[in-house]
Structure 1
Amino acid sequence: MGSLEDFHQHKEIIINLGIRDDLDIPKFHSLQHYLENIKNFGTTDNYNMEMFERFHIDFCKEGWYASNGRNEKPQMIAWLTRREKRPHQARHHILDIIQDHHCQGFKKDLISYLNSQLPDPYSRGQLCHMDLPFSHNDIYHGFKFYVESLENDIDFDHEETNSVKAKPSIGGKPECFDTVVVVDTLDCETTGLKGTRIGRLKVIFKLPSQVYGCITPAWTKDPLAYVEWYAPLKPAAEDYHEMYLVKKSLPSTDGFAPGQVISLSSIRQTCQLIPHFGRTALSMEWTSDNVLDRCDTFFLNCFTSKYAYQTLW
């Protein structure tokens, strides 16, 4: 108790010296939530030392090591800013992308997408004999974005963010290819599923910089995404729980899962698919890491958040 009394006796020195305007630092602020969390959850959930230590490593230690130790703060800020803009895998070969991300139709669909951007596109027959003018792409393993505000009484008092991953298995860690709601037609709106499709995000990438303006100015510099489509949704949700039934698409004539290259900005929001277990015995081989690959039928979960409840109907 002596140390605690000493702290309270001298804590104002931090304000008196002008180090801070108040004592509401994260570790002190978290103390205000301990009693409430212990009453509600029986634990001080998410307010332990590990949370702050993780931030300290990401935002301080790694940034410091990336600097030269002199006038380090601007260097650390620049390092943090640039880190998210740099691809996780620069100049990754297309054949390796196909293998690592399990997307056999990626090259074929990328050729089709680039052809559609040309002012005078080739015919489908001509495309069968054409190849890409490059062999590598810059790959990103995820991105974050703000979803559109609904501006209603039960909307959030802060901007809702979505985090999306398209990450292959690296270093023994399981792969992660998230499911997303994609804007498909012009009649799509912020809420509801009209004009959208459900897909599984397989690749986030950018075209190599050497093709910009060299081959055609029509090809975009913006990030692109490759999604494998689920079958189109039924007009209405299921009766009992008001969730839409989502089924895997049948393979196309070439044996590949139907897919498409889209603009990354076409992704409206993330979504969660629940396996449709039915009346058969549950397969013990299903895990959270492989259920999207092994299960064929799902329900679109509209109860994961307030935002999902207001938009996935």
Structure 2
Amino acid sequence: MEKIFVGVVAGAADPEVVHAVRAITDFIYYAHFETHTEESLTNLEDAWEAFHKHKAVFVKQGIRESFNIPKLHSMIHYVRSIRLLGSADGYNTEGPERLHIDFAKLGYRASNRKQYVQQMTAWLERQEAVRRFEAYLDWLEVSQRDAEETEDSSDDEEPEDDVEIEEIEESEMATQGSLRTTRCTYKIAKKPPFPRTTIETIVSDYGASNFVNCLQDVVQYAVEKSRHPPVPPVNGNTSIPVFKQFKISLPLMSQVSQKASLDTVRAIVAKPARGRHPFIPAQFSTVLARESLLSQTDLEGIGDLVTGGNPLAGFTVGQVRVIFRLPSEYGGLASLAAHPLAYVEWFTPFQVRDEHVVKSRGHAISFRCGAAT
């Protein structure tokens, strides 16, 4: 709106008024510059000096008694501030208006209305001291919480010295018609953090409701296949060594990245709140797994699956509920004891999309017992 001020007063007001209005308008427009040069800053100073030279006309004509206005006083610092901090593009003197209530009205109301300036000053200093102390307490609380979370997560992130690296398999993967060798490994703690977990805990806390039946079926299958002497049945007194997580190196996919990625599979129960420790939700990783190892014939047919068939053939999705080793009494079953095992709740298998089916179907949980290593 100020762009019309000079045109409004020109020829209708005292020449001194016109000079003052033009000077303050020039100052406002120079202050709006996004970038400044020495010339523009000099013009800004000249406009400010011209306004001060002619502003007395408003006092002479009884329009104002004085110019003790904080916003006018702040304008004398513009040139120095711009030189030190950069242009004032986007700055508005109305920005701190909200502080008038906090610093003036509330301070005045807290006084006894006598010598209120000193009382308001003391009140503001006390408010600032309280805010500084609150900021310190917030910083201290965050620092303690970070330290506690680091301590809590120390068991999750196993140190390299306490991790064993096992070679899962060495297989040939087909990529765009050519075969290349990909070595997959996994890392897991040498000692399980929960070496004597009861069956009851696994069923209740880990949600592995069918754990006993599945483990018993797998053990029985291994006994029959290896002609191993009968082993004690799995029962409520059986203690299971349980892990929190393991890390697996995924095959290199040159289409995605030139670096092999490391994926972490977790099966961690919820941790209730205790004292200052907040509640930590459970973590049960969802995995895309291959149902069985591929033979050389399967490998040669991967290209056909990707190009013309179902690219998800042989894969299924499940949720890992428990990562464990066989108890010591089953150590003789070499086929199962060589690697840690996982109890996985499989979702319904993938299906080729039926274009005639409009309504989508959710995945249900199914229990299919088998050894996942």
TM range, normalised to the smaller chain? 0.3 to 0.5
Tell which structure's C-alpha radius of gyration is larger: 2
Flag the structure with more relative contact order, 1 or 2, with Cα contacts below 8 A and sequence separation at least 6: 1
TM-score by length of 1: 0.47
* TM superposition score normalised by structure 2: 0.40
